[in-house]
C-alpha cells in the first residue's frame, strides 16, 4: 500500500444509486464512503445483489451515481460529460468483465489490443504490445486463436490481458478468478498484485473466491448497498 498522506486514487463520499421507480424502485447503494490508495489491492465481498458490481461500475465510469461524490484519479466523474467520461475510461481504466465480453469474430490478439487502438496507438505497435501482455498471462501460443477455441479459463485470461494492455492506473475486476483453477487463479492474482505494488496502480476486485483473499491489502464487505466493515487479511499474500 501507499504511504500515509498520499492522495487516494478513488474517493467515494455518500454515494447512492437506485434502479427503477415507484413500487419497483430498488436501492443498490445506500451511502457509500470509501477510499482506495495508489498501489493498493482492495477486494469487495458480499452476497449477490448487495451492490458490488454497481459500485465498481460507478468507480470505473460506466454508471453515474444518483447522489454523493466519486473522484477517481483526481477526476470528479459525476461532473464529466459523456464524451469526457468515455475518454477518461479509455485512457485510465482497465475493466475485467465477469462475462469476458470478447468479440467472437476477432482473434484474441485483436481483442486484447482494442484499448490501445481506442487510444490511437498504431496498429503494429498495438499488436506487439498485446502479444507481450498475452504472454504475461500465459497464453502466448493461443494469441491467434478465436475466443470460441479457448476454454472459459483461457478466455478469462485474455479478458485480463485486455484490461492491462494500455497500462491503466485503475484496474477494476468483476470475479477475475471465477473460471480459473486454483493454480491459474493464483498466478493471475500474483500478476495483478505485482502491478499494484510495483507500478503504483490501484486495483478493485469483486470476488467470492476465498482462495485469493490473502492477496488483498484490504477487504471491504458489503451488504444491502452498504459497506459494513473493512478488514486487513491476516495471512501473507497468496
- Greatest C-alpha distance within the chain: 53
Structural domain spans, the chain: 10-231
The model's pTM = 0.89
Tell me: the pLDDT tens digits for 201-213?
A: 899 999 998 889 9
What percent of the chain stands above pLDDT 90?
Answer: 71
Tell me: the pLDDT tens digits for 100-111?
A: 899 999 999 999
The pLDDT value given to residue 182: 84
User: Is-contact 188 137, C-beta < 8 A?
Assistant: yes
Q: What distances in angstroms separate CA 196 from CA 92, 93, 125, one per listed residue?
A: 14, 13, 24
H/E element, 112? helix 108-112
Q: Give the three cell numbers for residue 33.
A: 464512503
Residues 6+ apart with CB under 8 A from 108: 102, 134, 139, 142, 143, 144, 145, 146, 147, 150, 158
Domain 10-231 grouped into CATH 3.40.50.300: yes
Q: What distances in angstroms separate CA 69 from CA 40, 88, 118, 168, one per listed residue?
A: 21, 17, 27, 22
Number of H helices, E strands in the chain: 7, 10
Average pLDDT (130-153) is 94
The pLDDT value given to residue 145: 97
Average pLDDT (134-155) is 93
Q: If 0-12 CB within 10 Å is exposed, 13-18 middle and 19+ buried, where does residue 176 land? A: buried
Tell me: the pLDDT tens digits for 174-199?
A: 988 877 788 888 888 888 888 777 77
Mean pLDDT of the chain: 90
Amino acid at each position: 500500500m501507499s504511504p500515509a498522506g498520499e492522495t487516494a486514487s478513488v474517493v467515494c463520499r455518500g454515494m447512492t444509486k437506485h434502479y427503477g421507480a415507484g413500487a419497483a424502485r430498488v436501492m443498490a447503494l445506500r451511502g457509500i464512503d470509501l477510499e482506495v490508495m495508489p498501489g493498493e489491492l482492495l477486494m469487495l465481498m458480499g452476497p449477490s445483489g448487495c451492490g458490488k458490481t454497481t459500485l465498481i461500475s460507478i468507480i470505473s465510469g460506466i454508471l453515474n451515481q444518483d447522489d454523493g461524490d466519486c473522484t477517481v484519479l483526481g477526476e470528479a466523474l459525476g461532473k464529466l460529460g459523456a464524451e469526457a467520461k468515455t475518454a477518461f475510461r479509455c485512457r485510465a481504466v482497465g475493466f475485467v468483465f465477469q462475462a469476458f465480453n470478447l468479440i467472437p469474430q476477432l482473434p484474441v490478439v485483436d481483442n486484447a489490443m482494442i484499448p490501445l487502438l481506442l487510444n490511437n496507438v498504431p496498429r503494429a505497435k498495438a499488436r506487439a504490445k498485446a502479444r507481450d501482455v498475452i504472454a504475461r498471462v500465459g497464453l502466448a501460443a493461443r494469441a491467434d486463436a478465436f475466443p470460441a477455441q479457448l476454454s472459459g479459463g483461457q478466455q478469462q485470461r485474455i479478458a485480463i490481458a485486455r484490461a492491462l494492455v494500455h497500462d491503466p492506473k485503475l484496474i477494476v475486476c468483476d470475479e477475475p478468478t471465477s473460471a480459473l483453477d486454483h493454480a491459474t487463479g493464483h498466478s493471475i492474482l500474483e500478476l495483478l498484485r505485482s502491478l499494484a505494488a510495483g507500478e503504483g496502480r490501484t486495483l478493485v476486485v469483486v470476488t467470492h473466491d476465498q482462495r485469493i483473499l490473502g492477496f488483498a491489502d484490504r477487504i471491504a464487505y458489503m451488504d444491502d448497498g452498504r459497506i459494513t466493515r473493512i478488514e486487513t487479511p491476516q495471512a501473507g499474500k497468496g
